[in-house]
Chain A
């Protein structure tokens, strides 16, 4: 075990290794434990060096040891993340600003997003953002509906899910404290509604309390995990490992980000029965000018929709425009001509549709479009300004729905509170002759004063990265902390 053949003294400048309080030095030379320094600092020299006594030095083992140390440091590393766990509601134009200088696809999508979903809440990216977005969105929707009975029902429903936890063998004294935290939120919401509190600050505060927040998310994780284990057939096909293993490695640990399967299970097992809808808007580099929506709940009339903005690895909450009083239908419609539409019920119209090349602007303003300018129902999952396939835009009317009487050339009365009728109540249309259709792209709210949504050119002052833009802010270069 002699190392005398190795010219250690040649490395004098490096012989300042901090002595490790290592009692193994009884058995191995002290400098051996530091040899990993050579592996990193002087790879070539060290390989020459060790090549002389390969039998004794096991470089792989030593560097594995060092790797283990790095792994440990890396496991324990926690980035200093700025910002609260759940931010106040803020303008989503911040996201547009963030991407103004980037890839044009992102720039286009984010500036369109700032119009269709003007508000958002930023979730802290601490490994729980997806869970937190759903949980907060759920309680916030419940608060906004201001229906004490519903809060009570939901409280009872969530409490009843304890059965799932028992079924998978969780102990009451373990999950009890998490359930308590959730119940406390229900109670606070009930009280707020009864006292007529409009401010949702208490909810934001509750979710920004680290312990409280962790407990609620933990409760939701427990429920999701139990739900998946009890319904493995629904999820197994989407997983590369058995449901049990998936749950114990991806759902149960406190710091694991939710993935698509987990998110679907959370929605199925915990949120769905509330009747709320959950929609994800994907901000990615896919084609198109708007974020791609994806509905996680069944398409059904709903009182509230929880909307998530997904950027790779991160979820935030998004909000559509608040209802406004200006319900006048937007006049600046564009029309498209086609003869390829489903049958029109001639009987509903007092004149011959087919023979008239119509230019009556409001003819096609059917009720569902009428409510559009500022829909009081941002939750309507079938909102036509969701950019999606044409089939979704103009669904075939179900045969068993009698066509409602259609006022001709007169805009529908402003709607203050009632939800717009679902799209499926569109009257059937005749096959013959050209007809006028509204272009859904110009139907976006708040755009009536401007042109249809377009990409701001990179060198146009409408681009927020352009120096003439009112929101323009030059990028200030600052040295990274570590380089200061």
Chain B
């Protein structure tokens, strides 16, 4: 049953993708692993960057939330600064996940997070601290990383 819904959502996203978001299956034979290419939103330090976001759907989808991680390195308070690049926030938390939420909403949420980080919910405390207290330096570093890692 989960496959039916996933296939439907995938078709919708391919047909009418939200702004700055392009999705495809990482492997044509696996409906549960998606590659998402996300453009850094204009006006954010991630502008002009192109980020690979990996979306992994659990077999229990939609009863359990998808997992979102950045395959491209990104300087952001809500993305772990390791090789996992995982993001776990708000609607993606297992205890806050609603089966009525759609993947499109998840991806738009993730992209919006690039514009407005949530430092109070940070996984990288130092970056959050810097975001709050020294925005100029944060912007500078985020831009630098974007240039370094997110422009191919």
How far apart are the CA atoms of A61 and B130 in the complex, in Å?
A: 10
Interfacial chain B residues near A61, Cβ < 8 Å? 125-126, 128-129
> Which size class do B's interface residues fall under?
20 to 34
The reply on A230 being an interface residue by CB < 8 A is no
The smallest beta-carbon distance between A470 and chain B, in angstroms, is: 44
Given A64-B125, A65-B125, does the pair A254, B99 have CB atoms closer than 8 Å? Answer: yes
A21 touching B82, Cβ below 8 Å: yes
CA of A289 to CA of B141, assembled, Å:
68
User: Of the candidates A65, A66, A248, A256, which one forms a contact with B95 in the assembled complex, judged by CB atoms under 8 Å apart?
Assistant: A256
Whether B135 sits at the interface, judged by CB under 8 Å, is no
> How far, in Å, is B59 (CB) from chain A's closest CB?
8
The reply to whether B126 and A20 form a contact with Cβ atoms under 8 Å apart is no
Interchain CB contact under 8 A, B100 and A20: no
Taken residue by residue from 242 to 257, chain A's Cβ proximity to chain B (1 for < 8 Å, 0 otherwise) reads as 0000001100111110
- How far apart sit A170 and B102, CA to CA, in the bound complex (Å)? 11
Interface flags for A1-44 (1: CB within 8 Å of B; 0: not) read: 00000000000000000001111100110000100000000000
Contact (Cβ within 8 A) A68 B73: no
The answer for the CA separation of A181 and B4 in the assembled complex, in Å, is 13
Contacting pair B95 A255 (CB below 8 A): yes
Chain A min CB distance to B97 (Å)? 6
Interface residues of A in 241-282 (CB under 8 A from B): 248-249, 252-256
Residues of B within 8 A of A249 (CB): 96
Is residue A214 within 8 Å, beta carbon to beta carbon, of the partner chain? yes
**Would A72 and B126 be within 8 Å (CB), given that A22-B81, A210-B60, A248-B98 are in contact?**
no
A353: Cβ under 8 A from any B Cβ? no
A476 within 8 A of B: no
Q: Would you call B127 and A24 a contact (CB within 8 A)?
A: yes
B125 touches A218 (CB 8 A): no
Q: Does A211 contact B (CB under 8 A)?
A: yes
The distance in angstroms between the C-alpha atoms of A178 and B127, with both chains bound, is 41
Question: B82 touching A22 by the CB < 8 A rule?
Answer: yes
Chain A interface size, as a band, is 35 or more
A23 touches B126 (CB 8 A): no
> In the complex, what residues of A have CB within 8 A of residue B102's CB?
174
Q: Which A residues touch B97, using CB under 8 A?
A: 253-255
From A23, A27, A248, contact of B73 by CB (8 A): A23
Task: State the majority secondary structure of interface residues on A.
Answer: helix
B103 → A minimal CB distance (Å): 12
- Is A215 positioned at the interface, with any CB of B under 8 Å from its CB? yes
A359 interfacial by beta-carbon distance below 8 Å: no
Task: Report the Cα distance A177→B128, complex, angstroms.
Answer: 40
A252, B98: Cβ atoms under 8 Å? yes
Q: Would B2 and A174 count as touching, CB distance under 8 A?
A: no
Contact B2 A211, beta carbon cutoff 8 Å = yes
Contact of B124 with A75 in the complex, beta carbons under 8 Å? no
Interface residues of B in 110-152 (CB under 8 A from A): 121-129, 141
In Å, the complex CA distance between A24 and B129 comes to: 13
Tell whether B27 is near chain A: CB-to-CB under 8 Å. Answer: no
Contact of A211 among B63, B123, B129 (CB under 8 A): B63
B94 within 8 A of A: yes
Question: B126 to A214, Cβ gap below 8 A?
Answer: no
Is residue A103 contacting chain B, with contact meaning CB distance below 8 A?
no
Kindly name the residue among A78, A175, A254 whose own CB sees the greatest number of chain B CB atoms within 10 A: A254
The CB with the most chain A CB atoms within 10 A, among B63, B73, B81, B102, is that of B63
Name the distance in Å between B92's Cβ and chain A's nearest Cβ: 10
Contact A254 B122 (CB under 8 A): no
- With an 8 A cutoff between CB atoms, is A449 at the interface? no
Q: Which of B5, B64, B95, B121 has the most CB of A within 10 A?
A: B95
The one of A75, A78, A173 in contact with B5, judged by C-beta atoms closer than 8 angstroms, is A173
Interface string of A337-357 (1 = CB under 8 A from B): 000000000000000000000
- A65–B122 contact, CB under 8 A? yes
Q: How far is the CA of A254 from the CA of B95 in the complex (A)?
A: 7
- A227 interface contact, C-beta 8 A: no
In A191-232, which residues have CB < 8 Å from any B CB? 210-211, 214-215, 218, 222
The distance in angstroms between the C-alpha atoms of A78 and B73, with both chains bound, is: 29
Q: Say whether B88 faces chain A, with CB atoms less than 8 Å apart.
A: yes
In the assembled complex, the Cα of A96 lies from the Cα of B152 at a distance in Å of 68
What distance in Å separates the Cβ of A382 from its nearest Cβ neighbour in chain B? 39
B19 close to chain A: CB less than 8 A: no
Does B15 touch A at the CB level, under 8 Å?
no
Interchain CA distance A76-B125 in the complex, whole Å: 19
Do A215 and B1 form a contact, CB below 8 Å, given A65-B126, A68-B122, A72-B88?
Answer: yes
With both beta carbons as reference points, the residue of chain A lying nearest to B121 in the complex is identified as A68
Inter-chain pairs besides A24-B126, A72-B88, 19 sampled, C-beta below 8 Å? A24-B124, A24-B127, A33-B126, A61-B126, A61-B129, A64-B125, A65-B125, A72-B123, A76-B88, A174-B99, A174-B100, A175-B100, A177-B1, A210-B60, A211-B1, A211-B63, A214-B60, A222-B100, A254-B99
List 20 A-B pairs, Cβ < 8 Å.
A22-B82, A23-B81, A27-B141, A33-B126, A58-B129, A61-B129, A62-B125, A68-B122, A68-B123, A76-B88, A177-B1, A177-B4, A178-B99, A211-B1, A211-B2, A222-B100, A252-B98, A254-B98, A254-B99, A255-B94
B residues neighboring A (CB under 8 Å): 1-2, 4-5, 8, 60, 62-64, 73, 81-83, 88, 93-100, 102, 121-129, 141
Complex A-B, nearest 5 residue pairs according to Cβ-Cβ distance, in ascending order: A65-B125, A214-B63, A252-B98, A61-B129, A21-B82
